[in-house]
Amino acid sequence: ILGGENGAATAAFVVLGLQEIEMGGASVISSAAKEKIRPELQEQGNANAQFWGEAVLRVLNNIMPNQWVRVGMRQMSGLLTLVFARQELKNFVGEVETGAVACGAMGVGGNKGASAVRFGIHRNYICVLSSHFKAHQYEIQGRNENYRQISRKLTFKSRANRLFDEAAEDDVDSPDPYFEPVVGHALKDADVVLWMGDFNYRLDLPYYNALSLIGENNISKLLEFDQCLKQVRSGEIFADMDEAPITFPPTYKFDKGIHDRMAYDSSEKQRIPSWTDRIFFRGRGNPQHGDLSRFTTVESLAYESLPDVVDSDHKPVRSLLRIDLPIVNEEKYRIAACHTLGVFNSEPSTWVQDTALEFGIGENAVVYLQNTGGQPCTFALVLRGEEALTGWISVNPTAGVIPPGMQQAISLSVPSTSSLDVVSREINIFLDIFSMSQYAPGGSPQRMKKRFHPVQITFNPTKNGTGATLDAGRQYDESELIFF
């Protein structure tokens, strides 16, 4: 994918989905146990999975020496998903996650279901799935249910810290580095989805009729009987996904070892030739609707089967895809981020008109807090000093929000009927005003900048009026503050 018309020689990624790399009850039981107890082992794969991973990587590097690395692997019984990337993209690929959904025997058998690898590149997320759906001619609803179950249940666990770390991949006895599963619609959240597999949908026509149409190379007529296309068009499966036009003969079921394009099942069962092996894909969004920065497209450049492969009763299918992803210009992004932080990261632009007050019983005083900045700011007040005085001073308001360019009057008073008339000496207390402004999106305390304005208050029982002195050198720690 992401390559030109010369395949792997110009591709950026190679993804591979395999089914039935191993079969039998022992494989299903072993895989189910791993999924339950040690799912990280499924990322290493057993001997069969490792054979395929190493063989494909070796072939790729034979084409272009030392140019390919493995991004991720996920096995579940006979299912295997492999993702490879060009070495030059290594620093741009990350957040590799894997997952699987079992749909086989008793709902836990890994012989049917999906294994998947999800990875990020340039802040876009690509999800690759390999699936094997329920078999047999008339099990259409069973196959549809496999699709729904995988779409609903597939979640991922992250081992991004082990990306491209071959030593760590071999260290399966180390503590499990998984994060919690990503909860939600894993497929829906991906920017690109590539879903390949043996989906087992068949042709609804007699065996010999199918052979006759294949002999005539009448692909369009054969497709009229394709179960998969009917289910897609009815909206039952692969919603919002595409498949390139099919121009090759059915890929199932062949007699093994025979180099003849008409060597379909000659056994007494005479299974009807079908396109069981398919590749579906989708991007995200529409350029005419929504955010263009999240718009991705997937275009098929080639879609074909490989008729010369005779080791299986299926003919492999391959697709060459061009994927256009939005890529952030990191330099411009940093400039924009610095500009944003320059707006939000400064301290609140607030100013107190009077930084000291002196008054007596029955008097009122007003302090004006002005917001001279371009962002709204919140404020709160704290009285600090001798309780004999702070318990009688009335302050209003004690908290609020000041819009840009506005001011807030803060009123202080001591009732004339208070018991402070028995106080015959001057008492100093402090009104601490602190203002806050947001410096990043969100409203948590960690995202607020604060500024303190200390105002000295002197209570003089023999004097009415206000004075002005400034305690500008005093610095306050938040732990000293007691809120009203």
- When the pLDDT of each residue in the chain is averaged and rounded to a whole number, the result is 79
Split at pLDDT 50, 70, 90, the class of 5 is very low
Mean pLDDT value of segment 200-229: 97
Q: What is the mean pLDDT of residues 31-57?
A: 87
The predicted pLDDT at position 23 comes to 84
Predicted local distance difference test score (pLDDT) of residue 177:
43
Task: Give 237 or 396, the one with higher predicted confidence.
Answer: 237
With a cut of 70, say whether residue 439 has pLDDT above it. Answer: no
Can you give the pLDDT at residue 458? Answer: 74
440 versus 68: the higher-pLDDT residue is: 68
Q: What is the rounded distance in angstroms from the CA atom of residue 55 to the CA atom of residue 411?
A: 80
Q: Span 384-394, mean pLDDT?
A: 64
Q: What are the start-end ranges of the E strands in 210-316?
A: 277-282, 297-305
CA distance 454 to 470: 8
> How sure is the predictor about 425, in pLDDT bands with cuts at 50, 70 and 90?
low
Q: Give the DSSP letter of residue 197.
A: E
- Determine the pLDDT at residue 162: 46
Using an 8 Å Cβ cutoff, are 435 and 328 in contact?
A: no
| Higher pLDDT pick, 241 / 9 | 241
> What pLDDT is stored for residue 444 in this prediction?
45
pLDDT tens per residue, range 89-112: 988 998 899 999 999 877 777 789
Q: Is the pLDDT of residue 476 over 50?
A: no
- The pLDDT of residue 79 is above 60: yes
Is the pLDDT higher at 134 or at 431? 134
Low-confidence winner among 1-5, 332-336, 456-460, 472-476 (lowest mean pLDDT): 472-476
Percentage of the chain surpassing pLDDT 90? 45
Average pLDDT of 104-125?
A: 87
307-319: buried (b, 16+ CB within 10 Å) or exposed (e) per residue? beebeebbbbbeb
The whole-model pTM stands at 0.67
| pLDDT score of 170 | 47
Decide if pLDDT at 230 tops 50.
Answer: yes
Chain-centre distance for alpha carbon 385: 52
Q: Phi/psi at 146 (nearest 5 deg)? A: -60, -45
